[in-house]
Amino acid sequence: MNKPKIKRLVGKYEVGRTIGEGTFAKVKFARNTENGDPVALKILDKEKVLKHKMAEQIKREVATMKLIKHPHVVRLFEVMGSRTKIFIVLEFVTGGELFDKIVNNGRMQEDEARKYFQQLINTVDYCHSRGVFHRDLKPENLLLDASGNLKISDFGLSALSQQVRDDGLLHTTCGTPNYVAPEVLNDRGYDGSTADLWSCGVILFVLLAGYLPFDDSNLVNLYKKISAAEFTCPPWLSFGAMKLITRILDPNPTTRITIPEVLENEWFKKDYKPPVFDEKLETNLDDVEAVFKDSEEFHVTEKTEERPAAMNAFELISMSKGLNLGNLFDVEQGFKRETMFTSRSPANEIISKIEEAAKPLGFDVHKKNYKMRLENIKAGRKGNLNVATEVFQVAPSLHMVEVRKAKGDTLEFHKFYKSLSTSLDDVVWKTEEDMHLK
Are residues 365 and 321 in contact, defined by beta-carbon separation less than 8 angstroms? no
Host H or E run for residue 122: helix 110-128
The catalytic residue among 100, 125, 136, 191 is 136
Residue 233's contacts (CB-CB under 8 Å, 6 or more residues apart) are 205, 209, 241, 242, 245, 246
**Strand ranges for 268-370 from DSSP E:** 302-303, 309-310, 338-343, 363-368
Are residues 205 and 249 in contact, defined by beta-carbon separation less than 8 angstroms? yes
CA terminus-to-terminus distance, the chain: 31
How far is 95 from 176, CA to CA, in rounded Å? Answer: 23
Question: What number of other Cβ atoms are within 10 A of residue 302's Cβ?
Answer: 16
How far is 51 from 44, CA to CA, in rounded Å? Answer: 12
Helix (H, G, I), strand (E, B) or coil at 373: strand
How far is 405 from 413, CA to CA, in rounded Å? Answer: 6
How far is 41 from 91, CA to CA, in rounded Å? Answer: 9
Q: Phi and psi at residue 404, in whole multiples of 5°?
A: -135, 140
> Is residue 136 flagged as an active site residue?
yes
Quote the distance between the C-alpha of residue 224 and its chain's center.
28
Are residues 417 and 376 in contact, defined by beta-carbon separation less than 8 angstroms? no
Helix (H, G, I), strand (E, B) or coil at 38: strand
Confirm or deny that 42 is annotated as ligand binding: yes
How far is 210 from 102, CA to CA, in rounded Å? Answer: 7
Are residues 299 and 81 in contact, defined by beta-carbon separation less than 8 angstroms? yes
**Residue 305 identity (one-letter amino acid):** E
Q: What residues form the annotated binding site?
A: 42
Q: Tell me which residues are annotated as active site.
A: 136
Q: What residues form the annotated binding site for ATP?
A: 42
